[in-house]
Amino acid sequence: MSQANQTLTYLFAEMADVLEILGVDRFRVNAFRRASRVLDGLTDDIASIGPDIKALTGIEGIGRGTAQRIAEFLETGNISDRGELMSQIPGGLIELLSIPGLGPKTIGLIWKQAGVESLDDLKEQLQHDDLAELPGLGPKKLENIRKSISFSESSGDRVHLGTAMSLARWFVSKFIEFDDVQQVEYAGSLRRGQETIGDIDLIVAADPKSAKTISNAFKSLPPVTEVLVNGTTKTSVRTTDGLQVDLRIVPPESYGAALMYFTGSKEHNIVMRQRAISRKMRLNEYGLLKGKMTVAGRTEKEIYRALDLAPIPPELREDRGEFNLAESDELPALIKLSDIRSELHAHTTASDGKWTIKELALAAAERGFHTIAITDHSKGQAQANGLTNERLEQHILEIRQVADQLKKKITILAGSEVDILSDGKLDYPNSLLEQLDVVVASPHAALSQDPKKATTRLMQAIDNPHITILGHPTGRLLLRREGLSPDMRQVITAAYERGIAIEINANTWRLDLRDTHARAAIEAGVKLAINTDAHGPGDLDQLLYGVVTARRAGATKHDIVNCLSREALNRWIKGTK
Ligand code: DGT
Ligand code: CA
Ligand code: CA
Ligand code: ZN
């Protein structure tokens, strides 16, 4: 999603939340929520439409008031109403909005009726049960809120990989436009592809004489709300979505050294410095030095080479065995985004997706995929409009029809994302599952089950003769809920014996299997699937996060079933039956 779309999606949702906390003006709450949803699903970059009221109101779901606010944002980088709204509630309430299970209505209630103005106030009141007396809050709900608070506190102020990635890419695209910037890249945990990100680190190569100009230009970019560190070569800012961005400007001859230093990980850097020392050299963010002479520094590659290593991809820089491989030039040829040729998990309007079968298939064909599996939810997912047995039968017929129409463009497979019920049974009878080409089986409910039960549950699902892929195996939502903690070794062994694949769900909320488990699966010889679980426009772009996670696991294209040719994929699927 474009940066402006993303920021506006967030701002309108936040304004709707604040209005709801205030408990006034239902009408405006709905208008802001709608605006946020529309912007979230918008394929065009709103910035390219521009501050033209007529063009903006031409977008379905955008009224005049919303259009004026969008135009104001595009012109000034701000919405003045937002400041006005914010001033009407205690600042500490905003923080409460990020606690799962605590909506704006409840926040309004505990603020007005119990005087809660901040997270600290809430935590204090949660020590006893007085809040349980308020309408709509019982002891059970309070217990859930306590659990959510402790979970979000343990995850800190981090954001999803996708949130940081789109913001960082936007900054990089701006820097490329500056004449004085010779090279620019994001570093840190983001470049290593970690599942959540603490802050964004940007490295720019430029003549030191232009550092001041570049730093000033950076500080005046629209998403910047606050300057935290105001130096010439180091500048830190906070952006509209609360994320910190650190910018370092270095001379071109140190660019590789700085990029390496700030990419980390710390553990990787420690080993690198030791290697330098054992060769009578020194490595720091300025370069690799022997006495007063610079041996390398302009590129990362020349530094690795000078230390007798093959260049190590950022995703592997965790001191988890990459040095042995790099010494003997045996680093895996990591999978690339362009190696992915098919999508095996996607939803349509039949359940909770926004695309019809045809729209989804055409979008997949446009990306160059040769195959897409349509996998809507099963009946247990009532809130997601899951398909009853009868509706699935009907849906299969429709899929076959569209498949026939589009067969010259793309192969469409009939599938289902069938629920793994809490006891491990699948949500459709085998007589129905056997009519499908692809069965992705995933857990959606009973996700706080104890690890033993979770293990048995997944093993039971893997035993089903019709399963093709075990979908998002833990059901975790990053920074929100932990999900199941099954014994992954047992699950991996079972998947290997059955010959099915395990999914890396590429959605930035999930990244499930996680990197370390994906690595264990690959080492055990299990095939992985990288699927976006697309529900609408833009979702196919999340594929990148799944690929990055697979790269952290050391995956090559041979480990991933989505990289197979059409014929080989077909054979592999048949082999799982
Ligand atoms: P994050 O931001 O928490 O997601 O994780 P990182 O890895 O991006 O950490 P960050 O932003 O604090 O620093 C970026 C990189 O810079 C880090 O991976 C290693 C390097 N670095 C930062 N501070 C130090 C330090 O004090 N010592 C060493 N050796 N490296 C550091
Ligand atoms: Ca960082
Ligand atoms: Ca940082
Ligand atoms: Zn799904």
| pTM for the model | 0.83
pLDDT in tens, 543-565: 999 999 999 999 999 999 999 99
Question: Does residue 155 register a pLDDT over 70?
Answer: no
**Is residue 17 in contact with ligand 1, taking CB distance under 6 Å?**
no
Question: Does residue 405 register a pLDDT over 80?
Answer: yes
Helix (H, G, I), strand (E, B) or coil at 325: helix
Averaged over 90-97, what is the pLDDT? 88
Classify the C-alpha dihedral 419-397-434-466 as positive or negative.
negative
Scanning 23-91, the segments in alpha helix (DSSP H) are 26-41, 46-49, 53-57, 64-76, 80-86
pLDDT in tens, 105-132: 999 999 999 999 999 999 999 988 888 8
Nearest atom of ligand 1 to the alpha carbon of 266:
19
Question: Does residue 203 register a pLDDT over 90?
Answer: yes
Q: What is the pLDDT of residue 7?
A: 85
Residues, beta carbon < 5 Å, ion ligand 2: 188-189, 199, 201
Separation of CA 197 and ligand 2 centre (Å): 6
Q: What is the pLDDT of residue 142?
A: 87
Question: Does residue 97 register a pLDDT over 90?
Answer: no
Nearest atom of ligand 1 to the alpha carbon of 192:
7
Q: What is the pLDDT of residue 268?
A: 98
Q: Are strands 293-296 and 287-290 parallel, antiparallel or unpaired?
A: antiparallel
Separation of CA 264 and ligand 1 centre (Å): 6
Angle between helices 389-405 and 357-366 (to 10 degrees): 50
Query: Which residues, at least 6 apart from 119, have a Cβ–Cβ distance to it below 8 Å?
Result: 92, 95, 96, 99, 149
pLDDT in tens, 254-275: 999 999 999 999 999 999 999 9
- Structural domains in the chain plus CATH codes: 3-155 (1.10.150.110), 160-327 (3.30.460.10), 337-575 (3.20.20.140)
Quickly state the pLDDT bin for 481 (edges 50, 70, 90).
Answer: confident
Q: What is the pLDDT of residue 1?
A: 65
Ligand 1: which of 189, 245, 316, 317 to mutate, judged by most atoms within 8 Å of the beta carbon? 189
Q: What is the pLDDT of residue 533?
A: 97
Helix (H, G, I), strand (E, B) or coil at 413: strand
Q: What is the pLDDT of residue 240?
A: 83
Q: How far is CA 465 from the centre of its chain?
A: 32
